[in-house]
Amino acid sequence: MTEILANPLAARDHARSMEGTVIETMPVLPPVADDLPVDVGAEDLLWEETIAAGGYATRRLTRGSRLRLIDLKGDACASLLVFNAEMPTERLNVADTVKVQWNAYLGAGKLLLSDMGRVLLSILEDDAGTHDTFAGTSNAMTNAARYGDGSNSGPHPNGRDRFLLGAAKHGLGRRDVHPCVTLFKGTHIEPDGTITPEVGPFVPGRSVVMRAEMDVIVVIANCPHVLDPRPEWTVTPLRATAWRGPITAEDDAVRTATPEGLRAFKNVEDYFRR
Average pLDDT value for residue range 221-231: 96
Q: For residue 249, what are the contacts with CB-CB under 8 A and spacing of at least 6?
A: 255
pLDDT of residue 16: 78
What CA–CA distance (Å, rounded) separates 244 from 22? 25
- Residue 80's nearest CA partner among 167, 164, 180 is 180
pLDDT of residue 4: 62
Q: Is residue 11 part of a domain?
A: no
pLDDT of residue 32: 87
> Domain count of the chain?
1
Q: Is the pLDDT score of 29 beyond 80?
A: no
Average pLDDT value for residue range 62-80: 98
Alpha-helix residue ranges (DSSP H) falling in the chain: 2-6, 8-17, 94-101, 140-147, 159-168, 259-271
Average pLDDT value for residue range 154-182: 96
- Residue 208's nearest CA partner among 129, 134, 104 is 129
Average pLDDT value for residue range 170-176: 96
Q: Is residue 185 part of a domain?
A: yes
pLDDT of residue 24: 67
Q: Is residue 48 part of a domain?
A: yes
Q: How confident is the model at residue 28 (pLDDT cuts 50, 70, 90)?
A: confident
Interval 92-136: pLDDT, tens = 999 999 999 999 999 999 999 999 999 999 999 999 999 999 999
Q: How would you classify residue 25: left for phi > 0, otherwise alpha for psi between -120 and 50, otherwise beta?
A: beta
pLDDT of residue 22: 58
Average pLDDT value for residue range 222-235: 96
Q: Is residue 22 part of a domain?
A: no
Q: Is the pLDDT score of 13 beyond 90?
A: no
Q: How confident is the model at residue 25 (pLDDT cuts 50, 70, 90)?
A: low
Q: Is residue 36 part of a domain?
A: no
Q: Is residue 34 part of a domain?
A: no
Interval 243-269: pLDDT, tens = 999 999 999 999 999 999 999 999 999
Torsion of CA 117, 120, 108, 197, to 10 degrees: -90
Sign of CA dihedral 86, 119, 259, 252: positive
DSSP reduced 3-state for 67 = strand
Q: Which domain holds residue 262?
A: 44-271
Q: How confident is the model at residue 9 (pLDDT cuts 50, 70, 90)?
A: confident
Q: What is the pTM of this model?
A: 0.92
Share of residues in the chain with pLDDT > 90 (%): 84
What CA–CA distance (Å, rounded) separates 181 from 225? 11
Task: Tell me the pLDDT of the chain averaged across its residues.
Answer: 93
In which order are the strands placed within the sheet that holds 56-61? 56-61, 216-222, 78-84, 181-183, 131-132
pLDDT of residue 23: 63
